[in-house]
Amino acid sequence: MGLTIHYRGRFREDAKLMEMVEEVIDVAEVNGWNYNVFKKEFNCTDFCNKTSDKNIHGVCFSPPNCEPVCLTFRSNRKMCSPFWIDHTDNLTEDQECSYRISTKTQFAGFEVHAIIIRLFRHLSEKYLESFELYDEGQFWEFNNEIKSKEIFERYDKVMNTLADALKEIQIEEDEPLEEYIKRISEQTKLRKDKN
């Protein structure tokens, strides 16, 4: 649970992967974020529709309190998560879920989220094709900081309310988990209605 961005796309055949990797490294280093570099270039044999290989090309970076942002690709140039590839055998082209990446930015805050979205804007214009991004914070869609900050605040409030409820409302002995969750939900709704 938490505000997340979801994205997918393909690396353009006429673009230079090494250039993109270097740009991402620069952003990560300026912000003091950890990063991990995979293969920096596609081999001439990589530009085919291979899907059974587990070669990863590109870079991931990790701002504090944020899931990794993966700008990584398979040999067929489609974006993929290296974490998905590592845990899945025999991926095929029709397994589109392997080409969708999600990154939770909720706990990193709006400022980090905005840097990531602005970076995606730049990279998608210069290096990517068929790129799609869905931003639960709506900064990608509307480029409106005020609106996006309000959404972050709402998510924070919901998360804090849930955390408080979990601290205050203890599970009863032999209470099924489903009933416990329903009870928390009811108590949280009652508190919200009073405020």
- The domain tally of the chain equals 2
75 with 93, same domain: the answer is: yes
11 with 67, same domain: the answer is: yes
What is the C-alpha separation between 157 and 135, in angstroms, rounded? Answer: 19
* Residues shown for the chain: 195
pLDDT at 89 over 60: no
Of 56, 58, 60, 2, nearest in space to 33 by CA: 60
pTM comes to 0.84
Q: What per-residue confidence (pLDDT) applies to 192?
A: 66
Q: What per-residue confidence (pLDDT) applies to 46?
A: 47
Per 3-state DSSP, what percentage of the chain is helix, strand, and coil (rounded to 5)? 50, 20, 35
Domain that holds residue 44: 4-143
pLDDT at 10 over 90: yes
18 with 110, same domain: the answer is: yes
Q: What per-residue confidence (pLDDT) applies to 1?
A: 66
98 with 153, same domain: the answer is: no
88 with 167, same domain: the answer is: no
129 with 177, same domain: the answer is: no
Kindly indicate the confidence band of residue 109, based on its pLDDT and cuts at 50, 70 and 90: very high
